[in-house]
Amino acid sequence: MGYKAMIGLEMHCEFSETNSKVFSSARNSYSMTPNENIRPYDMGFPGVLPVVNKKAVEYAIKASMVVNCKQPEYMYFERKNYYYPDMPKNYQITQETKPIPVGIYGYVDYECNGEDKRVRINNIHLEEDAASSDHLFDTTVIDYNRAANPLLELVTEPDFRSGEEAEAFLEHMRTVYQYLGVSECDSKKGHIRCDVNVSIMDETLDEEDPKNWGTKVEMKNVNSFGGVRECIKYEIKRQTKAKEDGTYDTEVVQETRRWDEETGTTIGMRSKVDAVDYKYFVEPNIPKFKLTKEWLDEIRASIPELAYERKKRYINDYSLSDYDATILVKEKKISDYFEETVKLGADPKEACNWVNGMILAELNNIDNELTIDNFYLTPSMLYDLIKLISDKTISSKQGKQVFYKALEQKKEPKQIVKDEGMMQITDDSEIENIVNEVLSENPDQAKAYDPENPRLLDYFIGQIMKKTRGKANPSIAAKLMKEKLDNYER
């Protein structure tokens, strides 16, 4: 019997782009120094009161609109009560689905291996992050820098059928958040974290009927997209094997498991049966506030062009291939760099070849420790370089040398070409003079040249290159030399 997997994601995205935290005035900024960006609220001191960050609400609404959710009339927050050292107030301010959070019942279209897919969104809500705890050998330390940072949680319906689909969706949402300008989505800074829910069911049964669904297992806090893909694959295998072995009812139980990157397995942590009751209630210290039509319209109007829209534009307007356009838009900053180069007047195809080829190779080389932010060659320098080649001042081979020299010496391409005398001689009359000189110095070879069988042409071009130390434009030199030789009086 065949089985199909049902997979739902709870994707957390930390907004890195607000100045302050979501309910406190502490700076929202990543720091390697623990407990640097904190205010009494984040530490849960008695009597602290939350103040809602308007920017964070705007960002959350923007995201809610992009995932086609319905926005509420009023914003409410709720308390989720639990006891844990990373949440010293003993409650987290969040939004449950009742009353309506920042968005419900939407959908996201994304692409997986070239196929169009749609996943339904159950809800999207804004909450505060907990502090981060670090479990050392015999002690645990807590860093409150992250506490009360704005965190957006997106909950999908169980519409994914494979690890690849879940991964493609996460990649898609990462670009959405980046392009919206709400988060850097830097995995090294823990900006994206996922809970992964997996079950399998008999593939012949009706998936619309929840009675046919299998037992759901949840993997908490999977931190990399590759990890999400692999833990799903592992769980599908584990659950399928249990069905085949007849041990499904005892081995696949409602529980929270942990993805262990090192062994590539999931490990049971706690059963869902004794799940805590969070005793949700409306947060009394934040009065509900109305999302006016004007405010919502203003927010909607501020939504910028997103990655998949840019990609379409690159294909339609710049005739780039789907493959090239996909690579270009993957990281917003790379795409912005490309856009700027084109805006300066560079040919889009040329600019794309440089960015996707030489530049990404440099940035992806981990030995370089380069990012597009600290990359020496600016869009305007890339534009210069492309122009130096297109107007034949230098050959494309020289262009590559100039590129490396610019990065090595931190010197502008124009300057390198000048300092190293790399300019090609492209002036017809200048080349003609050299052609004449070469002819008068080689009368015997000129007489021996046979227009029907111009084997000696290479010899003459060699002489021109020798005289100009390789700088004569080869195609102009060849054309002029051949004309002269063909008409030479023999």
Q: Phi and psi dihedrals of 287, rounded to 5?
A: -60, 145
For position 21 contacting ligand ADP by CB under 6 A, the verdict is no
Within 1-102, strands assigned E span 3-14, 74-75, 78-81, 91-94
Query: Does 199 interact with ligand ADP (rule: CB under 6 A)?
Result: yes
User: Is there binding between residue 239 and ligand ADP (CB under 6 A)?
Assistant: no
Q: Does 6 bind ligand ADP (CB under 6 A)?
A: yes
Instruction: Give the integer Cα–Cα distance in Å for 57 and 397.
Output: 52
- Per DSSP, the three-state class of 35 is coil
By CB under 6 A, name the one of 111, 157, 251, 255 that touches ligand ADP.
157
Give whichever of 5 and 147 is closer to ligand ADP, judged by the CB atom. 5
* Least Å from the CB of residue 248 to ligand ADP: 14
Residue 156 in the binding site for ligand ADP (CB under 6 A): yes
Measured from the CB atom, is 52 or 252 closer to ligand ADP?
A: 252
- Shortest spacing between CB 178 and ligand ADP, in angstroms: 23
- Contact pick of 158, 379, 399, 413 for ligand ADP (by CB under 6 A): 158
Interface with ligand ADP (CB under 6 A), residue from 53, 94, 197, 463: 197
CA distance 125 to 142: 25
With contacts defined by CB under 6 A, name the span among 156-164, 234-242, 331-339, 479-487 that binds ligand ADP.
156-164
* Distance separating alpha carbons of residues 344 and 76, to the nearest angstrom: 47
Helix (H) or strand (E) holding 219: strand 217-222
Handedness of CA 423, 428, 434, 435 (dihedral sign): positive
Q: How far is the CB of 330 from ligand ADP (least distance, A)?
A: 25
Task: Candidates 81-89, 131-139, 191-199, 303-311: pick the segment binding ligand ADP (CB under 6 A).
Answer: 191-199
CB atoms inside a 10 Å sphere around CB 304: 11
Residue 198 binding ligand ADP, by CB under 6 A: yes
Judged by CB under 6 A, how many residues of this single chain contact ligand ADP?
14
DSSP string, 220-245: EEE-SHHHHHHHHHHHHHHHHHHHHH
Distances (CA, A) of 134 to 71, 138, 190, 402: 37, 11, 13, 47
C-beta nearest to ligand ADP: residue: 8
Q: Of the ranges 149-157, 370-378, 385-393, 417-425, which one interacts with ligand ADP (CB under 6 A)?
A: 149-157
Q: Tell whether residue 10 is a contact of ligand ADP (CB under 6 A).
A: yes
Identified binder of ligand ADP from the candidate list 155, 166, 168, 359, rule CB under 6 A: 155
β-partners of residue 103 are: 124
Calpha distance 371→8 (Å, rounded): 33
Burial class (CB in 10 A: 0-12, 13-18, 19+), 395: middle
Among 216, 311, 332, 405, binds ligand ADP (CB under 6 A): 216
Does 147 bind ligand ADP (CB under 6 A)? Our answer is: no
Binding site for ligand ADP (CB under 6 A): 6-10, 155-158, 197-199, 213, 216
